[in-house]
Amino acid sequence: MQKNKWILQDIDKNILYRLQEQTDLSEVTLKVLLSRGFNTIEAIKNFVSPKKEDLFNPFLFRDMYKAVLRIKKSIENQEKILIYADRDVDGITSLTILYNTIATLGGNVVWYIPSDEGYGLSCTVLDKYVQEGVKLIITVDCGISAVTEIDYANSLGMEVIVTDHHEPPQDGLPKAYCIVDPKMDFCNYPFKELAGCGVSFKVSQALMQTYGKYFDKEVAVLAVKQEEIYLIILINDIIVKEEFVSGKPNLKDFSKIVTNDCNYVKDVENTNIEIIEVKEQEDVKQTAHEILKQYRKQNFENDGRMLEFFENNIDLVALGSVADIVPLVDENRMLVRYGLSVLNKDCSKRFGLGYIFDEYLKGKQISAKTISWNVAPILNAAGRMGKASVAAELILADDKYNANDFFIELKKLNNDRKELQNENIKQFNILLKQQCDVEKDNILVVSAGSLAHGVTGIVASQMVKLYGKPVILFIEDKEKGEATGACRSIDGFDIVSALDKTKDLLIKFGGHHQAAGLTIEIGKIEEFRTRMKQIAKDSISTEMVAKKINVDCELKISDVNKNTYKDLTVLEPFGASNSVPIFMLRNVSFEEVSIIGQTQEHLKLKVCKDGMSIPAVFWGAAKYADDFGYKDKFDILFNIDLNRDNVQLIIMDVKIV
């Protein structure tokens, strides 16, 4: 058994008792929330019941205004627009959202997803599309590192708008027309962890708003108490000025007035303004901001055009965000939560997705878990096998017969992906033992020749889980003299920052803190390996390599029941930064231990204590079967799950007492 570090969160009982009096949430649910830092009523309400009207304004993005005006100009002038996407689920959903939005607005838009060209923009592809008359390129889920390619696009007379969510390069940005990325310096967007599809959604939302009645016009929010007047001025729903005003303001300077009566909005063009004074005991500034909050809520609820846009695209944001493993907190949580509700209400409105849900979910509820386990791997198979366009065509298809054709092709690609994955895992594990010292090296760098591309990232992820160390895998192309690599890292080791320290050896690279891609000349791999090993040696401590498991709280065995499972569903969707709750049980014994699974890798058993027993599974633990056969006592970490309407435990880790 692995010697993992268990970190049991300390819960303040006084706060717990207070929250139990103020909410109707169960004690176990409140303990989980407290263990994750939600210790006030307001924080808990915002997390448990996020509101659509609390979505952040897309115009808070740096360059958003510039981007959507340029897209709008292309639509109005019928310039040909190319959307250039990444080939994973996030890229495909990003593409679909923006493509459908521009097409709906009458734009002349086409799309492209790379296959053999690798990640990001390709100069060869740019040559093709400049010949076809493309004037504007919009990247989705890529482009932030494409310095050379965007310089080349500029030389061809094309303009490039980058929409991305990856980390900007440290040595300079591409010279794009504009860049929309929440991780950009001096970007005022409050939430930095959107997926590419989230950024695409925000661009599309802002573009839709440019066609609204009050776009670029001043709107006033006004609160009055006797001689005291507080005025908030908005442009595109961004506060540009707020102040106390002496004397009566000239209301005709504004296109819309929002007054103290929050039940409706005054329109200067056709309505006389009636100002209702706030009550004597109320603060006029605070009242103005309350009016603004209510106005934003009503504006969202009453704008049928934007509500339709929201309903038509939020399902794709949920799909892409879950697939890209972005943190499911803050705005991502709201987007995914509502997107899942739309999918469960009508999962067949997109014919292609309907086929996938029918085939692979078979009536199960669509959740973040089922997307991660059952849906995302199918869609990603197309890109991994060099045919990402198949998945894009599947989602974009507005004819069920065309969608079925693409679905049949996608199923074949997925079967091919599984075979390729098994072969590459086998080969990389052989080469790992030849090229690395698994015990001493803090990072594992492995290079292989004559393997097919497409699943390198999956294999790297599996090796990280197995060895607890960052992994970089290369596949060499002898004809080009280059190798393409995939990196996966561990908590605390920023792989993009590490790659940046070796950029003089690399042709290109880009990605996130824990996942990245790169290209290198084959002859430089050995020097790269040496330097990366030294970087990892200097940066990765023994404690970082040891797996840490955050435990939400300790339970009694009587707490493990269907009611507790049901109570915890208010915390969904579960995913990155909002994991399925992990609980501890102490001093249990195991009975009826048996090995299960086609590959005989897993355990089925019963967890027993105080005269109660609960069925459990422990994935990948068959090697411990003999240890568990004795009558020893154990402490366990576990998730609570349902199996055919019965509670079962999913064991995460075990320690002998």
Q: How far apart are CA 474 and CA 487, in angstroms?
A: 9
pLDDT more than 70, % of the chain: 96
Rounded distance between C-alpha atoms, residue 129 and residue 142, angstroms: 18
Q: Return the SS3 of 409.
A: helix
Residue 635, classed as helix, strand or coil, is: strand
Q: Is the predicted pLDDT of residue 265 greater than 60, yes or no?
A: no
pLDDT (tens digit per residue) in 68-103: 999 999 999 999 999 999 989 999 999 999 999 999
Q: What percent of the chain has pLDDT over 90?
A: 72
Q: Beta 256-258 vs 266-267: how paired, if at all?
A: antiparallel
Residue 485 has pLDDT above 90, yes or no: yes
CA-nearest of 106, 101, 108 to 306 is 101
Q: Is the pLDDT of residue 370 over 80?
A: yes
Measured between alpha carbons, how far is 323 from 353 in angstroms, rounded to an integer? 14
> What does the pLDDT read at residue 14?
95
**How many angstroms separate the CA atoms of 480 and 482, rounded?**
5
Residue 616, Cβ neighbours under 10 Å: how many? 23
Mention every residue, 6+ apart, whose C-beta is less than 8 A from residue 30: 16, 19, 20, 23, 44
Amino acid at 601: E
Range with the poorest average pLDDT among 150-154, 432-436, 462-466: 462-466
Per-residue pLDDT tens for 549-596? 999 999 999 999 999 999 999 999 999 899 999 999 999 999 999 999
Alpha carbons 93 and 79: distance in angstroms, whole number: 23
In contact, 489 and 464? CB cutoff 8 Å: yes
What HEC string does 501-528 produce? CCHHHEEEEEECCCEEEEEEEHHHHHHH
Respond yes or no on whether the N-terminal peptide bond of residue 377 is cis (omega within 30° of 0): no
> How far out from the chain centre does Cα 189 lie?
16
pLDDT digits (tens, 9 = 90+) for 49-59: 998 888 999 99
Residue 263 clears pLDDT 50, i.e. is over it: no
553 closest CA partner among 14, 16, 137, 139: 16
Contact 262/206 with Cβ under 8 angstroms? no
Average pLDDT in the chain: 91
Residue 506: the pLDDT is 94
In which residue are the tokens 């923006």 written? 98
Q: Are 4 and 546 in contact (CB under 8 A)?
A: yes
Task: Please give the pLDDT value at position 547.
Answer: 76
State if pTM tops 0.95.
no
Grade residue 266 by pLDDT with cuts at 50, 70 and 90. Answer: low
* Mean pLDDT computed over 323-347: 94
- Using alpha carbons, select from 155, 112, 116 the residue that is nearest to residue 132: 112
Residue 34: pLDDT band with limits 50, 70, 90: very high
Q: Are 443 and 528 in contact (CB under 8 A)?
A: no
Q: Greater confidence, 255 or 273?
A: 255
Structure tokens at 341: 């509700």
Task: For residue 346, report the phi and psi dihedrals to the nearest 5 degrees.
Answer: -155, 85
30 three-state secondary structure: helix
* Torsion 302-303-309-313 (CA) sign: negative
- How many residues in total does the chain contain? 657
Residue 169's pLDDT band (boundaries 50, 70, 90)?
Answer: confident
User: How far is the C-alpha of 137 from the C-alpha of 129, rounded, in Å?
Assistant: 10
Mean pLDDT of 15-20: 95
Give the other-Cβ count within 10 Å of 521's Cβ: 14
Q: Indicate the pLDDT class of residue 401, thresholds 50, 70 and 90.
A: very high
Residue 325 region by backbone torsions, left for phi larger than 0, else alpha for psi between -120 and 50, else beta: left
How many angstroms separate the CA atoms of 262 and 123, rounded?
A: 54
Hey, CA dihedral for 67, 71, 77, 82, is it positive or negative?
A: positive
pLDDT for the residue numbered 94: 98
Task: Show Cβ contacts of residue 249 under 8 Å, excluding neighbours closer than 6 positions.
Answer: 220, 222, 229, 231
Please give the C-alpha separations between residue 101 and each of 96, 203, 437, 572, in angstroms, as whole numbers.
Answer: 8, 10, 52, 29
Q: What is the mean pLDDT of residues 512-527?
A: 92
- pLDDT greater than 60 at residue 272: no
- Please report the DSSP string for 337-395 in residue order: HHHHHHHHH-TTSSHHHHHHHHHHTTTPPP-HHHIIIIIHHHHHHHHHTT-HHHHHHHH
240 vs 612: CA distance, rounded Å = 63
pLDDT at 452 over 90: no
Residue 402: pLDDT over 90? yes
Q: Are 656 and 648 in contact (CB under 8 A)?
A: no
Compute the distance between CA of residue 429 and CA of residue 432 in angstroms, rounded to an integer.
Answer: 5
Instruction: Go through 61-84 and write b for each residue having 16 or more CB atoms within 10 A of its CB, e for each that does not.
Output: bbbbbebbebbbebbeeebbbbbb
- pLDDT tens for 214-262 read 999 999 998 888 778 899 999 999 999 999 988 777 777 888 888 876 4
From CA 51, how far away is CA 39, in angstroms rounded?
19
